[in-house]
Structure 1
Amino acid sequence: MGEPPVTRISRTPRAPLTAATVLLAVGVLGGVLTGCGTGHRASAAASAPSDGLPHTAVRVSLGVCGQGWTRPHAGQQVFDVTNASDGPTEVDIVDPKSGAVYGEIEGLAPNTTRTLDVTLGGGSYAFKCLPDDADAMTGPTVHVPGHAAAGPAAAAVSEQDLIPPTLAYQKWIGGRMSQLAQDVGTLKDDIDGGDLGPARSDWLTAHLVYERMGAAYDTFGDADGKINGTTAGLVKGLDDPDFTGFHRIEYGLWHGQSADQLKGPAAQLVSDVNALKASWPQARMDPLQMGLRAHEILENAVQFELTGRTDYGSHSNLATARANLDGTRTVLGYIRPLLTSRDPGLPALDKSLDRLQSTLDGFDHDGSWTPLNSLSRDQREQLDSAAGGAVEQLADVAAIFDVRRTS
C-alpha cells in the first residue's frame, strides 16, 4: 500500500502559551503589550524613546517593587522596568483592591530592563512583584488623577476557580463516551455483516462524536493515538500494526478493502473505546488547561482539517471541523461564567464563532459534505477568513485563563 499525504496529529499538549506570548500575538485586553520588548542589561545607556510615549523608569528588587513611579498620569504610557535583584521575577501592574491585571512582564531576568506598555485611567494602581522562590510583594498604591478610562484589565483566574467547570466538563465527556461506544458498536456490526455502505455513514457518525470531545484528548493519553491516530511516524505506514482506529477503518472503507479485511480494525476500535470508557471515571483533567484547550481545538482544526492532512478517503474534513467547533463551544459554555467578567471581547468571539458555523453549515448538504478540494477560491477564502478570525479571538481566552500566581 502507498502512503497518503498526511501528517499525524499530535494530541500531546504544547508548552502552555504564556499570557505575554498570546497578548503579543493578538493584542488581547485591548492591545496591551506585556513585556514584549527585547530585554537589555540595566547598565546599558538608555536611548531616547522612539515610540512617542511617555516613559517612566521603575525598579524592582528584593524588598522593593515599583520604586520610581512618583509622577502618575493617565493615558497610554511605558514603564521601563529594571530587575535589580539576583533572581528572575514576574512584574504586574494591578488594581490593588480587585487584583485585576492591566499588564505583565513574565520572567524578567536579573539586571535586565524590559518595557511594559499600558493605558491607565483615573484610579488606583500598584506594581506587584512575584519573584521566583519568594513570596509575592505589592508596591505602594499610586493614585492617577482624573476620570479618564483605563485600558482593559483581567481579573486573575485561580486553579480553584477552574476546578468546578473542569469537573462538570469531565462529567459531560463521560456521557459522550456512552454514545461513542454505542456508535462504534454499530459500525462494527455493519462491517461484521458485510454492509459497507451503511458502514461509511456510521463511520462518520461515530467519528464526529469523538471529534466533539477535543478538550479531553490530552487526558485520554495513549488511547487517543489508538482511536484517532494517523500513519505519520509509523515505519510501515498503512501496513504498520500501530495504525489503528478511525482513520485505519476510513482508509479501508474508501479504498476498496473487503469487510473481512476490516473486521479486525473494527473490533480493535471497539475494544479501545470501551477501555477508554472504563478508565474515564478514574481520569483527572487538568483545570489549568481548560482555557488553552478552548483555543487549541480550533487551532488544530485549521492546521489539520482545513488542510486535508487527515483525509484518508472520506473527504469529511469540513464535517470534522464543524464537530470541532461544537467541541469549542462546549468548553466555552463551561468556562463562560468566569470569562464573562474578564473578556471584553466576548461578544466579538461569539460573533466570530457564529460566522464560522454559518460558513461551515453552508457545505453540509443533508449530511453529504463538500470535499475540501471542491471549494471554489471564494469559498476557500471565506472559510479561511472565518476560521482565522475565530482562532484569533480564542487566543484571548487562552491568555485570560493562563493562571497567574497571586502570592
Structure 2
Amino acid sequence: MSALLGRKAVIVGATIGLAALSACAKSEPAAKDDGTGPVSVKATDSACDLSRRDVKSGTSTFSVSNTGSKITEFYVYADGDRVMGEVENIGPGLKRDLIVELPTGKYQAVCKPGMVGDGIRGDLTVTGDAPAQTSEDALLKQAAVSYQRYINSQAVALEQKTTEFTAAVKAGDVAKAKALYPVSRTYWERIEPVAESFGDLDPKIDARVNDVEPGTEWTGYHRIEQALWVTNSTKGMAKYADQLLADVKTVVARSKAVKLTALQMANGAKGLLDEVATGKVTGEEDRYSHTDLWDFQANVEGSQAAIQALRPALQTRDAALVTQLDTNFKAVFTALDKYRTADGFKPYTASEPEKKALGAVVDGLAEPVSQVAGVIAKK
C-alpha cells in the first residue's frame, strides 16, 4: 500500500529499521537558514515547521526530524495532491532526508502525524529556471524512458488481471477469485510508487479496514479479500468489484501519461522496501488471505526494476554501490525461496523469529537503496 497516504502499520521491534523513519514535529520552530542547503523540517504531533518555504527549482533536500510521539510521514504535493516525493513511517526521535526534484510552481509541504488524514499542510514555493536533471543527463533520461516502459507493461497486466479477478467475484466463483486475488495484486505492488502518486486513488484501491477515514466507505482489494476469506462468499461484492476495476483503469490511464524523474524512481525504489517492512513482513497487508509474500516479492521486484533502469548512471557515479545492490537484492530473493510453492507462495503465517529474519534481510537491502537518491542527485 505506498506515496502512501498514512495507511501503514508500524513494525514491532527494533530489528526492522525500515518501519522507523521520521515524523513531523513542533516543540520549537525550525531554525532559520540562509536559503541554501537542506530545508529543515521539524515535526511534532501537532505541527510541521520548515526552516524556509521558498526553494529554488531543481533538486532540494528536506531533512525531516520527528520530535513528536507518533509515527509520521512527510510529503511534497503538487496540485490535486499529486505526490512529488515522500518519506514514510518516521518514528519518534528519528530523522530522514527526502531528496526531490521540483520545477517552478506552487506546492504543499505536508506532515501526517499518525500517518492518517490530510495532514498538517503549508505552502511551498519553488522559483527559478533550473532545467530538469533528466534533460541534462543522457543516462538519466535513458533511465526514465526504460522505467516508463516497465510501468506501462505492468499497468497493462494489472488491468487484465484485475478484470479477470473482478469478473470472478461478480460471477460468485469464490475459488477462482481467491486464486486470482494475489496474482492481480502482484502488478499493483510492482508499480505502487507511481499508482500512489495519484493520491485520491490509492486509498480507494488498497486501504485496509483500519486505514479508512471515518465517514468514508471501505472499498478496494482488501474489502473483497475480507469477504472471500472470512465469509467465503462474494455476496454484496459486485459493486466493490466494479469500483475496483474502474479505479484500476484510471490508474492505468494516468500511468501512461506520467513523466517520472530519476529522483522519483530512486525514492520509489526505497518506498517499495518500506512497504515490505511495514506491511508484508508483519503480515498486516493481506491479513485475511495470508498472501503477503506475493506482495512482498512484487514490491522487491518493482524496487529492483527502478534500480536496474538507473544502473548505467549509478555505475558511472558509484560502481561499488551497484555491486552492493546486486548482492543485497539476491539475498532478499534467496530468503523468499524457502516459502515458495510450485505456483506461488505458502500462506504467510511466519513466527516472530522468521519475521525478524526476513526484516533483517530487507533492512540490509534498504540501506544501500536509500543511498541511490543522493548518488543520482550529484551533478
Per the normalisation by structure 2, the TM-score is 0.62
The unaligned stretches of length 5 or more in structure 1 are 1-7, 14-24, 27-85, 92-105, 108-131, 136-156
Label 1:88 to 1:371 Cα distance change in 2 as closer, same or farther (>3 A).
same
Residue 262 (str. 1) matches residue 237 (str. 2): yes
Deviation at 1:352, TM superposition (A): 1.0
The one-letter amino acid of 1:340's match is Q
Instruction: For 2:242, give the aligned amino acid.
Output: A
Whether 1:87 and 2:34 are equivalent positions in the alignment is yes
Equivalent residue, structure 2, for 1:227: 205
Q: 1:257 to 1:382 in 2, by over 3 A?
A: closer
Task: Go from structure 1 to structure 2 and tell me whether the alpha carbon gap of 1:360 and 1:395 turns closer, same or farther (over 3 Å shift).
Answer: same
Structure-2 residue corresponding to 1:348: 324
Residue 267 of structure 1 aligns with an amino acid whose one-letter code is D
CA distance in 1, matches of 2:181, 2:289: 9
Match of 2:333 among 357, 365, 374: 357
Q: Where in structure 2 are there 5+ consecutive unaligned residues?
A: 7-16, 19-32, 39-60, 63-125
Report how far residue 312 of structure 1 moved.
3.4
Query: Which residue among 279, 283, 288 is the counterpart of 1:313?
Result: 288
Counterparts of residues 5-404 of structure 1 (less than 5 Å): 11-12=4-5, 87-90=34-37, 158-160=133-135, 161=137, 162-235=140-213, 242-256=217-231, 258-343=233-318, 344-367=320-343, 369-375=345-351, 377=353, 379-401=354-376, 403=377
Alignment RMSD, CA only? 3.4
- Residues 9 and 169 of structure 1, relative CA distance in 2, 3 Å threshold: closer
Distance in 1, Cα, partners of 2:273 & 2:205: 20
* Structure 1 position 280, deviation (Å): 3.2
SS for the counterpart of 1:373 is coil
1:201-242 Cα distance to aligned partner (Å, 9 max, x none)? 101110111111133134333222222222334355xxx653
Is the Cα contact below 8 Å between 1:249 and 1:265 reproduced in 2?
A: yes
Matching residue's letter, 1:338: A
- Structure 1 pair 385–323 and aligned structure 2 pair: CA distance change class (3 A): same
Given residue 87 of structure 1, which amino acid in structure 2 is its aligned partner? D
Superposed CA offset, 1:380-406 (max 9, x none): 3432221110111211113212x35x6
Could you say which structure has the larger radius of gyration?
1
Q: Which amino acid aligns with 1:357?
A: F
In the alignment, the residues of structure 2 paired with residue 282 and residue 179 of structure 1 have an alpha-carbon distance, to the nearest angstrom, of 17
Whether the 8 Å CA contact 1:219–1:283 is kept in 2: the answer is no
In the aligned structure 2, how far is the partner of 1:315 from the partner of 1:233? 18
Distance 1:324-1:233 versus aligned 2 partners, 3 A rule: closer
CA distance in 1, matches of 2:233, 2:329: 40
Question: Following the alignment from structure 1 to structure 2, what is the Cα–Cα distance between the partners of residues 317 and 210?
Answer: 13
Instruction: Specify the alignment match of 2:101 in structure 1.
Output: none
How far, CA to CA, are the matches of 1:301 and 1:255 in structure 2? Answer: 24
Cα offsets for 1:140-193 (capped at 9, x unmatched)? xxxxxxxxxxxxxxxxx9343333322332232122222111111111221222
Distance 1:340 1:286, change over 3 A: closer
Aligned twin of 1:97: none
Paired residue for 2:114?
none
> Contact between 2:219 and 2:244, CA under 8 Å: does it hold in 1?
yes
Partners of 2:372 and 2:331 in 1: how far apart?
Answer: 18
- Could you tell which deviates more after superposition, 263-272 or 226-235? 226-235
Distance (Å, rounded) in 2 between the aligned partners of 1:300 and 1:366: 25
- Kindly state the Cα deviation for residue 87 of structure 1 after the two structures are TM-superposed: 3.0
**Deviation, structure 1 residue 371:** 4.1
Comparing 365-374 with 309-318, which one deviates more in the overlay?
365-374
- Tell whether the 8 Å contact from 2:269 to 2:306 is kept in structure 1 after alignment: yes
The aligned amino acid for 1:350 is: D
